[in-house]
Structures are given as structure tokens and as C-alpha cells.
Structure 1
Amino acid sequence: MILGIGTDLANIERIAETLERFGDRFRDRVFTDVEQLKAERRRDVAGTYAKRWAAKEACSKALGTGLRMGISWKDMAVTNLQSGQPQMHLTGWAAERLANMTPEGYEAIVHVTLTDDHPWAQAFVIIEARPLP
């Protein structure tokens, strides 16, 4: 069953301007160390950050909170499998919210997909509940 759906569209140029203006202060407030390492190794640094920004926004919407109610940017993080497939990891308040919205006898699976077409970065997040075996 679907527990939540979220989407977000981020402007890559706006993220690039924010990175230029605020630098590490912005990076450290919003992105985990792993996300920063990934982005800084990429040719399109701003695009990589923009996709992760959009994923965090989309995830907060799928959780039904938006970025309020105690959720932190770093409570939601995007990593990639070796195949390149993105994965969303929840910690802190986001993980608590996910646990509270998951029905008893089910496990929550967070699906995320990212795309970009300059100047736009987009993310979709679907939270699924699957019955436990």
C-alpha cells in the first residue's frame, strides 16, 4: 500500500547561486558528508546538489510534514547503489515519522527517483508499506 507520495522541482541555477553565496554554511546545514562528497566529485556539482535538495523536499512531502514539525534536512539523505540507483535514508525525526505512519505488521520502503534537464532538477518519492513475511 502507498503511505505517501512527494515530488519537487528545483532550479539548478538557484542552487548554484546559493552555493556561491553561502558555500559551506549551506552545504553543512542541508547535506550530509556523504552527499557532499558525491556532489563535489561530480562534473555538475550544482545539479547534483539540486537533485538531492529536490529529493529531500519530495521526501518531506511524502512523510506528510513538509519541512516542519521537527524534521531536519540531514534527517533525509540520498546515496547511490553501485549501479547508480538512488536510495533515500531516513534518520532522526524523519525515521520516527516513518515508523509512526507504518501500520503494524508492515515494513516501509522509500522509493526515490531523480532526474535533471538544465536548469531543472526533479525528484519523486513514494513511501510503500509491504506486509512483513
Structure 2
Amino acid sequence: MTLEEKQQEIIDDFAIYDDWMEKYEYIIELGKDLPLIDSSKKTEDRLIEGCQSRVWLDASIENDRVRLTADSDAIITKGIIGLLVRVYDNESPEDIVKSNLHFISEIGLQEHLSPTRANGLASMVKKIKLLALSAIAK
């Protein structure tokens, strides 16, 4: 599935919910489905700066693809990083760097987050893109 197809799948998934309380519940469920990050990877150097909650992100390269795992100590934030992992996991570093995450605005996520959570979301995207960029540079 392409990065674009993954985004469209998320847009379609969110379209079935009528109000934002249902969408928040869905985001929480996505966080519960996030593959667990190995506890040894929950280190300070894997924390994403700019997030109000603690969010750990681990990235590796396998077969020229970026593999991501993540976790957070806040349930909504865990769901948000889960959405990003869903889109970006197993993509090429080049596709990640040049991607435009339009699903965020199309599902209305940004406008329904508090300013601190919106900043955290931007920090998560930035961190993933920087990790992909560093993989290209190697």
C-alpha cells in the first residue's frame, strides 16, 4: 500500500464517525493497537521534544525501508503517533521526506487538538522526517 493509499484509508476510516467524541475514541483505540516499543528503547534520546506528553519513537532501516515503533504515556497522544506510524512505517526514506500529510487536515485532526497537542503532532512529523533524512544521508 502506498503512502497516499494509507492516508486515504485513514480518511475513509474517520468518515464513518459523526462527531469528535467518537473520533477521539477511535484515536484511543488506534493507540491500543500500536505495536509495543521494546522497553529498552524508551530512552531519553528517543523522546520527541516539543510534546507535552512523553513520546518515544524508534526508527530503523530494513531493506531500504524505514521501520517505526513508538509509545506514549498519554492515550490520545499514543493514538496520534499510532496514526503517523501507520502512514510512515515501511516507507522509503525519500517518500517520507517528500510526503505531504494531507490526511491530518482532511479528518480535521489539527483543529480539534489543543495547541500543545497540535505542537506535539508537528514535532512528531518533524522528528520522523528528520530520521528519514538522516537515513538518506548515510
**TM-score over 0.5 for the pair:** no
TM-score in terms of structure 2 length = 0.30
TM-score in terms of structure 1 length = 0.31
Structure with higher helix content: 2
Higher relative contact order (CA 8 A, sep 6+): 1
Structure with higher strand content: 1
